[in-house]
Amino acid sequence: MDLPHLFPYRLTTINQNSSLIHIHHNQIIATFEKDGDENHQLHQLPIAGGTPIPLHEEESGSTCYHACFTDQEMYYSTNHENPLLNIYKTDLQTGHTTLIQQGEKAPIVVAAASSDGSYVYTETYSNTHTSAFYQTGDTKVPLVPDVNTAHTIKGIYLTKEYIYFTTNYGKEFSYLASFNLSTYEFHPLFTLDKEEITSIQFHQQSNTIVMTSEKGVRDHLYVYEVSTGVGERIDTPCDVIKKAKVTKNGHLFVLGISADKTDTIFKRETNGSWIQVTNTKVLGVPDGNMIKPDIVHYESLDGLEIEALLYKPKKANGVTIIWPHGGPQKAERMIYRPVIQYLVQSGYTFFAPNFRGSKCYGATFEKMVEQNWGDGPRHDCVAGMEWLIQTGIAEKGKIVAMGGSYGGYMSLLLAGRHPEYFCGIVDIFGISNLLTFLKNVPASWRTLMDQMVGNPETDYEKLVRDSPITYIDHMNSPMFIIHGENDPRVKTEESERIVYELKNKGVAVEYLLFNDEGHGFSKKKNEMRANREIRGFLDRITSNSSAPMV
């Protein structure tokens, strides 16, 4: 987009997902995968557009996890030669690439770089334990006093005098902190009450830091004055902020989304007002017709409070869908999901609980799912269904469990352990057997799995107990299963095994396999087809139609 003109134009037609885009002088550097394989390889293309060219041909089939740029160099992390990742440096004028660090104990990812050759990188031991280090010459300095204390570090920004970052070191929620490059001292700077500071943007001219935060299902924006140490909340034009960017001249842009609005770019004017610089109208949907959810709370079986989103259709058909989110250390938030709007507009009530293990509710809450995939979160989902029934929103036996990835796993587990609640199940690239899942995870994940899920040897009985396939004899609801053939995280055998066993039992089951997808939908046409077929499946099972399963 060439502002102030608001019409975007296409630069490339590669038609693949990208995890990184950076404009560097007269070229664009971006990563692209291939049909959902998650091997995001670095490419370059001219500013004017054209066919992307691989930056390093020899890295085909590998993944670039992140890249940082100085005036002349690119620092990046890849699993090209090491499953625990290496950090490389490429001279963007000559193309010469040098290996500068190897991952040894855990996956390492470069987070920030300086033109003097120093850089910051992270070591990840689990989703709730990521340490960061400042590397200058042969000296490696941790950014917090004790790296062995479980904590996370994100949103790293490197200046000449300080490293600014967010961390939950010693606290429940992440806050803004600094690391002095002269004294190597760590200092907390700005903390919010039960609110997670997630990303930062440093503006050198005004000496301010723009911060995004997560509080439950919504995001907020703050501006922090470095000289005074004062932070102030500013209005947000959307429910969830996907990215905030402060330009060199001080303009603040936000890429945001809401439950009832698609991705939108906003610009903040000097008077504090926001203007919308992209069109968010969804073709075929009248303005104001999207349904925004209610934010509800209920108690789980042990008294733990759970927050959830509840979408109520204008004309309910009597069937409720429970949506366990993926991750599991993620959260269902106020974002636009086409499948949710499509099904709610079709009469289905939609319930999305942020069970224990979800992020945005503090470190203790998030850690509750570690090595506890099949117990606590499951009881939270059951308690949520009971709350729906007791409040008259849902009826036992007229509930559908539906989810993707961990959400697919939980939907299968609920079907096997609590079949009395359900009239149907939709499993989207979910896990059926934790033992085979752990055997087949990507190599870069293997050092993290013991803490996240469990050890196949020492935790064998628990992993069997928490695997949906163990309860196949109790599954009796019609089931629709979707998978991507190129899924690198959850292999297709996880779905194929369930399909095979259910067919042998005589349970109605449909299986939709996409040969050009991986762990999710990278092609809009495939997502639209899946949503239509999910709707068709639900309509058939909820109307007691005699239409045959295919």
- CA pair distance 410, 430, nearest whole angstrom: 8
How many Cα atoms within 13 Å fall on the side-chain side of residue 447? 16
In this prediction, residue 47 carries a pLDDT of 84
Classified as helix, coil or strand, 361 is coil
Instruction: Give residue 68's pLDDT.
Output: 95
Alpha carbon distance 365, 357 (integer Å): 6
Q: What are phi and psi of 157, to 5 degrees?
A: -135, 125
Whether the predicted model's global pTM rises above the 0.85 cut: yes
Nearest to 478 by CA among 432, 378, 410, 411: 411
Residues of the chain by 3-state class (helix, strand, coil), percent to 5: 20, 35, 45
CA angle 413, 418, 424 (to 5 degrees): 75
Q: By the 8 A CB rule, do 204 and 210 touch? A: no
pLDDT digits (tens, 9 = 90+) for 185-205: 999 999 999 999 999 999 988
Cα 40–Cα 455–Cα 463 angle in degrees, nearest 5: 100
Residues 6+ apart with CB under 8 A from 465: 374
- pLDDT tens figures, 226-282: 999 999 999 999 999 999 999 888 889 999 999 999 999 999 988 889 999 987 665
Q: Angle 376-390/406-417 helices, nearest 10 degrees? A: 70
Q: Is the peptide bond before 107 cis (omega within 30 degrees of 0)?
A: no
Is it true that the peptide bond before 328 is cis, omega within 30 degrees of 0? yes
Give 36-57 pLDDT, tens digit per residue: 999 999 999 888 888 899 999 9
What span, in angstroms and rounded, lies between the C-alpha atoms of 424 and 478?
A: 5
CB 143 within 8 A of CB 165: yes
Amino acid 358: pLDDT = 97
Angle value at C-alpha 410, between 404 and 411, nearest 5 degrees: 75
CB under 8 Å to 131, separation ≥6 — which residues? 122, 123, 125, 142, 143, 144, 147, 151, 153
C-alpha closest to that of 301 among 364, 391, 384? 384
Q: What is the pLDDT of residue 278?
A: 86
pLDDT of residue 544: 60
The answer to whether 35 touches 486, Cβ cutoff 8 Å, is: yes
Tokens of 292: 């925004």
Q: Which is it for strands 240-246 and 230-234: parallel, antiparallel or unpaired?
A: unpaired
How far does CA 172 lie from the centroid of its chain? Answer: 20
Angle between helices 338-345 and 524-542 (to 10 degrees): 30
Q: How far is CA 35 from CA 208, 484, 518, in A?
A: 41, 9, 7
Torsion sign, CA atoms 386, 392, 394, 398: positive
Task: Of 135, 121, 48, give the one whose Cα is nearest residue 85.
Answer: 121
* pLDDT lower than 70: segments of the chain: 280-288, 544-550
Tokens of 511: 């299986």
**8 Å CB contact between 406 and 327:** yes
Q: Could you tell me if 482 and 496 are in contact, meaning their C-beta atoms sit under 8 angstroms apart?
A: no
